[in-house]
Every structure is written in structure tokens, then in C-alpha cells.
């Protein structure tokens, strides 16, 4: 989706309503956003060894973030397969 298309969607509140009525879309959108946010945060803080001693040196932010992103995208993809709410 290009930037212009996104602006177009946002301007069209009827369309937003139609999208949000399928619960898979808000779920998918939310986890995609959170997933991207937390994985980027994980990448930025990756050099901070002290922060990740709690999680035994595992960068739990990157792993959780990627997991959420994947889940969010699967939810969004599911809306394409079966049109019904």
C-alpha cells in the first residue's frame, strides 16, 4: 500500500468502519504495529547486555516482536481467504 493509498483510506471513514468490523483486522493491525515496535526496540537495545541478563542473554524483545509481527500478518492474511467476518 503506497502512502497516497493509506491517506485515501484514512480519509474514507466509511471504509475504515467496514474494515474494523471484521475483528481480524484490528487484531492483525494491532499486533503488526506492536510487533514492529518491539522488534525495533529489541534491535536498538541489542548491545545493552545488562538489560538482557534477566532473560539469560536472550534478546526476548526481538523474538517476541517477530512472533507478534508474524501473528499480526497471519491474521490480516486470513481476512483475504474468507470474506465473512
Partner 1 sequence: MEIFQLAWIDYAVMIIYFAFVLGIGWVLKRYMKDASAFLEAGRSMPAWVAGLAFISTNLGALEVMGMTGSGAKYGMLTTHFYWIGAIPAMVFLALFMMPFYYGSKARSVPEYLKLRFDEKTRGLNAILFAVMTILASGISMYALALLMEKVLGWDFNVSLLLSAAIVLGYTYLGGLSSAIYNEVLQFFIIVIGLLPIVFLSLHEVGGWHGLKDGLAPIVEAKGYAADTFTTTWKHTGSATANPMGVEWYGIFAGLGFVLSFGYWCTNFLIVQRAMAAESTTAARNTPLIGAIPKMFIPFLIIVPGIVALVLMNNPTSGFTIPAMANGQPNYDLTIIMLLKHYLPAGVLGLGLTALLASFMSGMAGNVSAFNTVWTYDIYQSYIRPATNDKEADSKHYLKVGRLATIFGVLVSIAAAYLAGLFGNIMDFLQTIFSMINAPLFAVIFLGMFWKRATGHAAFIGLLSGFAIALLHHGLTIPAGATTLVKGGWITVLHTYPVEMAQNFWTAIYACAASALITVTISLATKQQKTDSELVGLVYSLTPKLKEENVAWYNRSSTLAIFVLILATILTVMFW
For 82, list phi and psi in degrees, rounded to 5.
-120, 115
Q: Which ranges in 45-59 belong to alpha helices (H)?
A: none
| 57 conformational bin, left if phi > 0, alpha if psi -120 to 50, beta if neither | left
> Minimum distance between the CB of residue 68 and partner 1, rounded to whole angstroms?
6
Residues 42-81 touching partner 1, rule: CB under 8 A, are: 42, 45, 51-52, 54-56, 58, 60-61, 63-65, 67-68, 71
Q: Binder to partner 1 among 15, 26, 74, 77 (CB under 8 A)?
A: 26
Inter-residue contact 35 to 66 (CB < 8 Å) = yes
Site residues (vs partner 1, CB under 8 A) = 16-17, 20-21, 23, 26-27, 29-31, 33-34, 37-38, 41-42, 45, 51-52, 54-56, 58, 60-61, 63-65, 67-68, 71, 84-85
Amino acid at each position: 500500500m503506497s502512502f497516497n493509498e493509506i491517506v485515501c483510506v484514512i480519509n474514507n471513514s466509511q471504509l475504515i468502519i467496514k474494515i474494523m468490523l471484521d475483528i481480524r483486522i484490528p487484531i492483525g493491525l494491532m499486533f503488526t504495529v506492536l510487533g514492529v515496535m518491539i522488534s525495533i526496540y529489541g534491535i536498538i537495545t541489542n548491545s545493552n547486555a545488562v538489560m538482557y541478563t534477566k532473560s539469560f542473554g536472550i534478546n526476548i524483545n526481538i523474538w517476541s516482536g517477530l512472533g507478534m509481527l508474524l501473528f499480526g500478518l497471519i491474521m490480516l492474511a486470513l481476512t483475504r481467504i474468507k470474506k465473512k467476518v
